[in-house]
Amino acid sequence: MKSTCLFLVPALALAGCAGTLGGVDDIEEETYTVLGACPENLPEGVACTSAGEAPPEAQPDVGGCWVTGIGHIGSDLDGNGISDKPGAGAANQDSYGGNAMGMKDGSVRGQWQNTTHLDGTKDKFHGQATFIYCWNDGGPGPDVPKAYPNRAIWGGPGKWNHEDGYLFIVSAADYKEGKDGNDANIRDAYAITVYEDVDGDGVATSADTVIYEESDCVFGNFQIHPPNNGHPYVASPMTNEMNRISSTQDLCPNANW
């Protein structure tokens, strides 16, 4: 089924995929409606429409954030800011889209979808965000909006190819809109790990089986937003598994600032 999701709307409740924000029903086509300009060079099977310009963001609140993203990952082997891979369907790139944000009731909500493109096949993960943690690693960014953290990690439960019983953790870096002036190497970065919830406790740990993981530069858009009245920061603790993923993530550049 075709689903259109409104992901980049500050300070408002977000319209969800497949009917409700909390649902993880089938999404066969990935079509996202965003405020502001759509990213360029989206992969095959991912479409974007613009709903107009975004309103001014709230003032930064040091340490807190909520996140939105749409795009695909890829390698920049030549260091020229251009993906050397010919596109998701041709070169094993993942496409992704979603959000994770704190709510006034103290919970964390959002949806995240990651679709693999491996040798002509697709594996889909669709999950619900139930935790988020933000920090600044001393590197560049973020740029617009002016949040303080440039790194975020979030995740929760979800479905792998429409089957329940799985968990995910996403770790991402927001480094100045993907490029920093003349240095095309400074790009946003994205990593996802999907687990089978072996022990059934709903928390991703080393006891759970990793069934898929990927880490690379971003071609598209990932943004860290400062918290506001609509989406206050609901900080979750950094677990050992979250720390493992964030500390081994491929960054762009590899922390050489």
Give, as one character, the DSSP assignment of residue 39.
Answer: P
- Tell me, yes or no, if the pTM score tops 0.75: no
8 A C-beta contact, residue 64 and residue 150: no
Q: Is the pLDDT of residue 166 over 70?
A: yes
Determine the pLDDT at residue 40: 61
pLDDT in tens, 72-113: 776 555 555 555 554 444 455 788 889 999 998 999 999 999
pLDDT band at residue 230 using 50, 70 and 90 as cut-offs: confident
Q: Is the pLDDT of residue 174 over 70?
A: yes
Chain position carrying tokens 């009917």: 19
Residue 215 sits at φ, ψ, to 5 deg, of: -150, 130
Give, as one character, the DSSP assignment of residue 246.
Answer: H
CA distance 12 to 26: 24
User: Within 10 A of 29 (CB to CB), how many other CB atoms are there?
Assistant: 11
8 A C-beta contact, residue 211 and residue 107: no
